[in-house]
Amino acid sequence: MSTTELAHNRHIPDRLDNPLRSALFSWETLLILVAVAIFALNSLASPYFLNAWSLSDLTFNFVEKGLIALAMALLIIAGEIDLSVAAIIALSSTIMGMAVQAGVDTPGLVLIGLGVGLACGAFNGLLVTKLGLPSIVVTIGTMSLFRGIAYIILGDQAYRGYPASFAFFGQGYVWWVISFEIVLFVIMALLFWFLLHRTSFGRMVFAIGNNPVAATFSGVRVERIKFILFCLTGLMAGVASVLLTSRLGSTRPSIAQGYELEVITMVVLGGVSILGGSGSIAGVVLAAIIMGLVTFGLGLLNVPGIVMSIFIGLLLITVIALPILWRRLRERQGA
């Protein structure tokens, strides 16, 4: 067989190089269509949905979890996971509550909330990168540890009496119906998009998720990058703790219960592979909006919280299972 014939026989069809065609067939486009459909259904299901203040309230349903999802996306792309983020919120909020009782003012409370989140993330990162422990095992353990500490400190009590100025972070508006929370979310989404998709750090994150051994031999400091990602995830949980505590105006050890499930659902629904190596910030942002639309719409219809939890659990299983089933189907067809 000649070289020309061999090349012809091994010809691989062109990939979707056309930018417009690639965009139309992307996962993000599908998420946009789903978001529009859910928005339309909510509009038909409740007469209270299409209201500027209702739509503003909708953003509170996903911003705090969405902020954590931005950092969690990078961590999962790198092949790791953090199941302790909700417990970090609880511990950060508890320490802020203790600080309030000691007379600490708003700037100090914010620094404490962020600092505790960062410290918890660093603790997770050290256990994973220095001791070589699996992140899922480590963060299941610290999930119990962090929330357990909050329960030991508070018991069945609650901390209240936060300064009036502290309420702005979770309840304040920058302009009209545009809350401080949604402005912060947009800014952080842009920063994380730039970090992941436009910097060498982001390329190293993808490289680690695809093949950590190859990344190591390419000069990437794998353990250092993973440690930074755990710290970043903890820090964003600290940010969420400040916002949530400010919005509720009180601290209980049960605060943010179940948030870790919703955060991971946002990340996976956004197109981030649970096995690592692929994903986008745009997809995570769209998934966060979809989750907010769904939970807010169900809330307007007075659907019980347990039903929402069941839906989120089923959604997580579905978005993890579908790509695997689709890949197996294609392999059988190609066999």
**Residue 252 placed within a domain:** yes
CA torsion sign, 36 to 37 to 42 to 47? positive
Token pair for residue 232?
A: 């970043």
pTM here? 0.90
**Residue 251 placed within a domain:** yes
Taking only the tens place, the pLDDT of each residue in 189-230 is 999 999 999 999 999 999 999 999 999 999 999 999 999 999
**pLDDT band at residue 48 under the 50/70/90 scheme:** confident
Taking only the tens place, the pLDDT of each residue in 96-113 is 999 999 999 999 999 999
Taking only the tens place, the pLDDT of each residue in 229-262 is 999 999 999 999 999 999 999 999 999 998 999 9
Average pLDDT over residues 157-181: 93
**pLDDT band at residue 16 under the 50/70/90 scheme:** very low
Residue 195 pLDDT: 97
Distance CA 135, CA 153 (A): 26
Domain count, the chain: 1
Q: What is the DSSP string of 190-223?
A: HHHHHHHHSSHHHHHHHHHHH-HHHHHHTT--HH
Q: State the greatest distance between any 2 C-alpha atoms of the chain, in Å, as a whole number.
A: 84
Q: For the chain, how far is it from start to end, CA to CA, in angstroms?
A: 25
**Residue 248 placed within a domain:** yes
Domain boundaries, position 62: 51-323
Average pLDDT over residues 26-44: 90
CATH of the domain at 173: 1.10.3470.10
Residues facing residue 175 across a β-bridge: 178
Residue 186 pLDDT: 97
Q: What helix, strand, coil percent values describe the chain, rounded to 5?
A: 75, 0, 25
**Residue 220 placed within a domain:** yes
Residue 24 pLDDT: 63
Residue 21 pLDDT: 62
